[in-house]
Chains A and B, each alone.
Chain A
Amino acid sequence: MLNIKNLSLSYGDKHIFEELNIEIKENEITAIVGASGIGKSSLFLCINQMIRYEKSYKLKGEILYKGIDLMKESEDNLTKIRKNIIYVSQQPDILPMSIYENLAFIARIHKIKNIDEKINAALEKVYLYDEIKDRLHTDATSLSGGQQQRLILARALLLEPEVLLLDEPTASLNEELSHKIGLMLKEHKSTIIIISHFKSQVKKLTNNVYSL
């Protein structure tokens, strides 16, 4: 599904990682663990090629997605590919509009049908629907950190991507919710790559663990 071959990333003179080789299996969870600042999030930016918009970064190697080298793809093709490789950042990138609109706007642009049903389903999947069903049309920025994190996860699920890049998806959640979200991801049928600080956390989800 996704093959990272001899990938090296440097920022100016500083090497972030070198000769990285990772094989991501289809419809399985793969975890990448490592200490802070080691380049885990940068690896995600390499996979979805958002690294192109960052100055002073140099990238070498290959990132093969279904046999296509993403590093050689044009911006137009990458736009189409990024719809299938959705990145969920650690910092919730919520827009200053209603909870419903935060999900609906992107669904409308991508011409997703039955938007309301799918939004409700996505919110239920991340265990947010019951908490906010009465205030779907209120400002999303008033949600707590954990709720915002689940909202952007719901936004990603709504688009039904082939690959989900999750950067510390349960960092702001309590133990019970982390466990529930973990189980949901395990049952979710798509390729998932998770970044985490702790091996023990991701061991519950997958045996495909890479250390950076």
Chain B
Amino acid sequence: MKKEYLFYKIVFSIFSFFAMALVYLLISFILYKGLSSISVELIFSDANIVDAMMFKERVFDGIFPAIIGTLMLIFLSLIFGIVFGVASGIYLSIYANTKVKEFLTTCFELLATVPSIIIGVFFLLLSIYLHKIFMSNFLPSLLLSSLALSLLILPYLVKNTQLCLDNIPKEIKHLGLTLGLNKMQNLFYILLPYASKELTSGIFLALGRACEDTAVIMLTGAVASAGIASSVFDKYEALPFYIYYISSEYSDQAELNSAFGAALVLLCIAILLFLFTSLLQKKFRKKYA
């Protein structure tokens, strides 16, 4: 029994070690390649930093517009994704009957299996259709990319919300009702605060997915040099697309290194967003306590 336990302990430790080693290898590689190429010039090129940050001067050749574009994209996708995803998850967990639940769960699971390029193509065709039939000014844009990305992360948000609410212990699930609260009060005062930590974790995972996807945005509005979008109907720059574009079309080593620099910036954005989510989790817990 002890030998068997030891055997499995060693086997599982080896697998976890390799998984961890791969993560460290990847991060170290990006750090090694990216750190040497990160500079003010990479971000702002020859533009005045203050003016660029105040959006008074346009940055050409720097990744500043791509950083802003990525942040805007994540923000908008999360808003659309959270509204539709969390609402659908709540509906599936609390209101839907068994048949509707089974049907919708299958639909969202199917959606999760759709490759992002297909979602990109669908939204591209949708924009062409809308452009031809209804709105001549409707073109691939930040709004279209955000909607496409939110559809991409929707299944994760729905499933996560549903699981968080389903996993609440039965006595807590009905607590509000036994204390004279209606279903909505029970949801907002008890269930959602109870599951807030897990809900924000799920939102962060979805956020990570939205951060890195290139296939969707390259078809729906991201371009190489658009500057900072002045409205959601404009084309925009984004870091994942910049990294893809440079690494597939670079002419010299210095140009390729700038892609590593951009990758490092993207990694930092992801880490910052992770820290921000953790802070939110703590704040939720504190407020709840």
A interface with B by C-beta (< 8 Å): 48, 50, 53, 75-76, 79-80, 82-84, 86-87, 89, 91, 93, 95-98, 101, 105-106, 109-110, 139, 155, 159
B182 touches A50 (CB 8 A): no
B177 touches A82 (CB 8 A): yes
Give A86 to B177 CA distance when docked, in angstroms: 10
Subset of 28 A-B contacts with CB under 8 Å: A48-B178, A53-B174, A53-B177, A75-B183, A76-B182, A79-B177, A79-B180, A79-B181, A82-B178, A83-B179, A83-B180, A84-B180, A86-B179, A87-B178, A89-B171, A95-B194, A95-B288, A96-B194, A96-B288, A96-B289, A97-B289, A101-B288, A109-B181, A109-B185, A109-B189, A110-B180, A139-B289, A159-B179
Kindly list chain A residues whose C-beta atoms are within 8 Å of the C-beta of B178.
48, 50, 82, 86-87, 89
Kindly list chain A residues whose C-beta atoms are within 8 Å of the C-beta of B180.
79-80, 82-84, 86, 110, 159
A107 CB → nearest B CB, Å = 10
A93 touches B175 (CB 8 A): yes
With A53-B174, A91-B171, A139-B289 as contacts: A106 and B179 at CB distance below 8 Å: yes
A-B pair number, CB within 8 angstroms: 55
Select from chain A the residue with minimum beta-carbon distance to B178.
A87
Give A50 to B181 CA distance when docked, in angstroms: 12
Select from chain B the residue with minimum beta-carbon distance to A55.
B98
Give A147 to B179 CA distance when docked, in angstroms: 20
Give A82 to B176 CA distance when docked, in angstroms: 10
Kindly list chain A residues whose C-beta atoms are within 8 Å of the C-beta of B183.
75
Select from chain A the residue with minimum beta-carbon distance to B185.
A109
Give A75 to B183 CA distance when docked, in angstroms: 9
Kindly list chain A residues whose C-beta atoms are within 8 Å of the C-beta of B190.
95
Give A91 to B289 CA distance when docked, in angstroms: 21
B interface with A by C-beta (< 8 Å): 171-172, 174-175, 177-183, 185, 189-190, 194, 288-289
Partner of B289, one of A50, A87, A98, A110: A98
B171 touches A50 (CB 8 A): no
Select from chain B the residue with minimum beta-carbon distance to A156.
B179
Kindly list chain B residues whose C-beta atoms are within 8 Å of the C-beta of A109.
181, 185, 189
B173 CB → nearest A CB, Å = 9
B119 CB → nearest A CB, Å = 37
A162 CB → nearest B CB, Å = 12
B174 touches A95 (CB 8 A): no
Kindly list chain B residues whose C-beta atoms are within 8 Å of the C-beta of A95.
172, 175, 190, 194, 288
A138 CB → nearest B CB, Å = 9
With A95-B172, A97-B288, A98-B289 as contacts: A105 and B189 at CB distance below 8 Å: yes
* Nearest 6 interchain pairs by C-beta: A83-B180, A93-B171, A82-B180, A79-B182, A87-B178, A97-B289
Give A91 to B172 CA distance when docked, in angstroms: 11
Kindly list chain A residues whose C-beta atoms are within 8 Å of the C-beta of B171.
89, 91, 93
A80 CB → nearest B CB, Å = 7
Kindly list chain A residues whose C-beta atoms are within 8 Å of the C-beta of B177.
50, 53, 79, 82
Give A87 to B181 CA distance when docked, in angstroms: 13
Give A49 to B78 CA distance when docked, in angstroms: 39
Kindly list chain B residues whose C-beta atoms are within 8 Å of the C-beta of A86.
178-180
Give A53 to B126 CA distance when docked, in angstroms: 43
Give A155 to B175 CA distance when docked, in angstroms: 12
Give A86 to B181 CA distance when docked, in angstroms: 11
B289 touches A101 (CB 8 A): yes
Kindly list chain B residues whose C-beta atoms are within 8 Å of the C-beta of A79.
177, 180-182
Kindly list chain B residues whose C-beta atoms are within 8 Å of the C-beta of A87.
178
B121 CB → nearest A CB, Å = 43
